[in-house]
Amino acid sequence: MSLRNARMTDAELDKLDRQILMALQGDLDDSPEPYARIAEALDIPEGEVIRRVKKMKSEGIIRRIGAMIRHIEAGISFNGMVVWRVPPERLDEVGNRLAEFPEVTHCYERIPFGDKGGSLFTMVHAPSREGCMEIVRRLSEAVEVEDYEILFSKRELKKVSMTYFDEEAADEE
């Protein structure tokens, strides 16, 4: 979850909003109804949680809610960050096309990097190194870009959610 950087007034967030934000800054339930547990813990209807989250999002208090994949726990052992060297006039076209593939979990443009000086990055996951390489081969054919390099992860780093509010701060209100 990412909160806006501007100063928030006390009027913008009441105690229930802060409690919802505290729940959102942890891991969400991986069920089809991730807000149901938050609602249950706060003893309010799930619809109220959703309404408040939407309101905070529309007011810019919450910028986004994201997910982290703990790929090793999910049985995905190999991860390849593919650095694509794409002509500037094709960046949007190729980036949009690559982002459509379900095997691609990240797709973004950065300053040129690596031996080939690529600036379009995608992350793919597979159970084996060969599986990653096969996915990248198919992606390359689909977007007609052969100039790329694959950087494989050596280990999974610890992933933690940001903490914006703690229980003490919420209890003080």
**100 and 44 in one domain?**
no
What radius of gyration, in Å, describes the C-alpha atoms of the chain?
A: 20
Structural domain count, the chain? 2
**Which residue would you say has higher pLDDT here, 140 or 58?**
140
Instruction: Give per-residue pLDDT as tens, 69-105.
Output: 665 666 666 789 999 999 999 999 999 999 999 989 8
Which domain range does residue 48 map to?
A: 2-68+161-172
Examine the domain organization and report whether 26 and 7 are in the same domain: yes
55 and 93 part of one domain = no
CB 145, CB 94: distance < 8 Å: yes
Task: Please report whether residue 73 resides in a domain.
Answer: no
Q: pLDDT tens for residues 114-131?
A: 777 899 999 998 888 899
Lowest mean pLDDT among 57-61, 69-73, 167-171: 167-171
Q: What is the model's pLDDT at position 73?
A: 65
Q: Identify residue 121 by its one-letter amino acid code.
A: F
Q: Domain check: are 85 and 58 in the same one? A: no
